[in-house]
Amino acid sequence: MPSRPGSARGAALSAAALLLAAPAWATECAGRIDLAKPLSLATVTGPDRVNFFKSGEADTACPSLAPACRERAYLVAGNPVVVSGTSGAFACATYRGAKGATRSGWLPRAALTEAPAAAPDLDAWTGRWTSGPE
C-alpha cells in the first residue's frame, strides 16, 4: 500500500498494510475480531513491561490476567501497535519491531492509549507517493 514518507497518514496506512500482509493477527486473536470496527493506532503506556496474553485458542480461560495466561513476550512503554479488535479488558494488538518482525496477540486495554482518529484533509493525500518493490 503506498504511503507518503514522513506523514502521520502514511504511518497509519503502513500500519494497516502490516495487518493485511501479516495474517498472524488472524490466528492470535481468532474469532474475536470485529471486522466492522476500523483499525486503530495505540501506544503502550503501561508499566515497564506489558506482557502479551494467550488467546482462547491456547486455553479457554484466556485471555485473562491469570498468571497461567501470561506469555513471555512483552512490549514496553512507547511501543506503537495497531489494534484490530477487543475482548473484554483485552485488545488484539500487532507490533512491528525495528527489524521487521511482527508479533500479534492480546494486550491489556488498560496498558494502551489509543490515538484519536484523524480525518485528513485533501492536502494530506497530495504529493509524491511511493510503494514497495512489488
| pLDDT 10s digits, 73-110 | 999 999 999 998 888 899 999 999 888 888 999 999 99
Q: Indicate yes or no: pTM above 0.75.
A: no
Helix (H) or strand (E) holding 70: strand 70-76
pLDDT of residue 53: 93
CB 8 within 8 A of CB 41: no
Q: What is the DSSP string of 86-103?
A: EETTEEEEEEE-TTS-EE
Biggest CA-to-CA distance, the chain: 50
pLDDT of residue 123: 83
| pLDDT 10s digits, 8-61 | 444 444 454 444 444 444 456 756 666 667 788 999 997 789 999 988 877 788
